[in-house]
Amino acid sequence: MENQGQLAQYIPELAKIDPDKLGIAFLSNENETFGVGDWQTRFSIQSISKVLSLSLAYNLLGENIWERVGVEPSGNAFNSLVQLETDNGIPRNPFINGGAMVICDMLVSHLKKPKSDFLEYVREISSCKEVNFSVATAKSEELVGFRNKALCNFIKSYGNIKNDPDEVLDFYFHMCSIEMSCLELTKTFRFLAFSNFKTFNGDKVLSLSQAKRLNALMQTCGFYDESGEYSFKVGLPGKSGVGGGIIALHPEKYGIAVWSPKLNQKGNSYKGMKFLELFTTETQLSIF
């Protein structure tokens, strides 16, 4: 596999990562795990975290959340403001930045201690008690986050952010700064991969129908404006982050996480995409 792509440059903390890191973890429906390379090294999961905040909001608020955010692919770059202007402040889906901010705004309204309550939730579903924010990454992103600040204030101007934009952004940047290893990622996403998954307390995170819907959303919107290409070549629900991580799921069969920090032009892990394409083509284990 060629060694193309480049590190996310716009978040200073991410630009410092060793570009040659590569990890792959596999988790079967029998709870068997396999891994190669840096599969137990933590990295910044970034946008992958948007699935986690969304799932918590979905758990807490049910179908009401779809009144404030759509479920359609955006067809534009992930930080575009254009569509918001046409759509009166309703972001196209919860995985573009604006949509994730609206979800964060819901959690800020609903949780008592938003940041620590969210962290608690992630630790609960992942069974990984040491998972944490990287405050350095959150701060690093906040310092250069003028585009995100613009986005949040823009949505606020349409009334679709209820709290103070600065507070929402603080939650948003922390949420995106969560660090996990590939192994931890596969464990975290069991609640979407396996319908018999229950937390330590014996609770289901989402109903079967809700889980299927989140999987469908990842399929159509999980890879920014490369979601079609990803569906086309990989054929599994998944989500990527600019930290170079990707999680992909074959419902009821397996979960797979890849980490390689160099990104292609669309902001997705160059090697991660290539690997998953090869994997599903060779194994013929896609959902299609």
Nearest-approach distance from CB 249 to a second copy, in angstroms: 9
Residue position matching structure tokens 């959303």: 217
Question: Residue 73: enclosing H or E segment and its boundaries?
Answer: none
254 part of the active site: no
d(CA 58, CA 72): 17
Binds a second copy (CB under 8 A): choice among 33, 76, 132, 199 = 76
∠ CA(63), CA(66), CA(68), 5° rounding? 135
Which is the catalytic residue, given 126, 156, 168, 224?
Answer: 224
Q: How many helices (H) and strands (E) does the chain have?
A: 12, 7
Q: In angstroms, give the least distance from the CB of 39 to a second copy.
A: 26
Of 55, 140, 219, 268, the residue at the interface with a second copy (CB under 8 A) is: 219
Tell me which of 80, 134, 177, 186 binds a second copy, using CB under 8 A: 80
174 makes contact with a second copy (CB under 8 A): no
Residues from 224 through 283 that contact a second copy (CB under 8 A): 225-229, 231-233, 235, 237, 251, 281
Residue 15 Cα distances to 44, 64, 181, 257, 262, angstroms: 11, 38, 18, 21, 10
Question: Has 270 been annotated as catalytic?
Answer: no
Q: Confirm or reject binding of residue 64 to a second copy (CB under 8 A).
A: no
Is 242 designated active site? yes
Helix, strand, coil percentages for the chain (3-state, nearest 5): 50, 10, 40
Q: Is 75 exposed, middle or buried (0-12, 13-18, 19+ CB in 10 A)?
A: exposed
Residue in 15, 60, 81, 119 binding a second copy, rule: CB under 8 A: 81
Q: Which has the closest alpha carbon to 247: 191, 199, 202, 209?
A: 191
Residue 283: CB minimum distance to a second copy, A: 12
> E strands of 18-108, at which residues?
23-28, 33-37, 43-44
Catalytic, 47? Answer yes
Least Å distance, CB 201 to a second copy, is 25
- Residue 150 found at the interface with a second copy (CB under 8 A): yes
Q: Provide the binding-site residues for a second copy, judged by CB under 8 A.
A: 70-76, 80-83, 85, 92-93, 146-147, 149-154, 156-157, 165, 208-209, 211-213, 215-217, 219-221, 225-229, 231-233, 235, 237, 251, 281, 284, 286-288
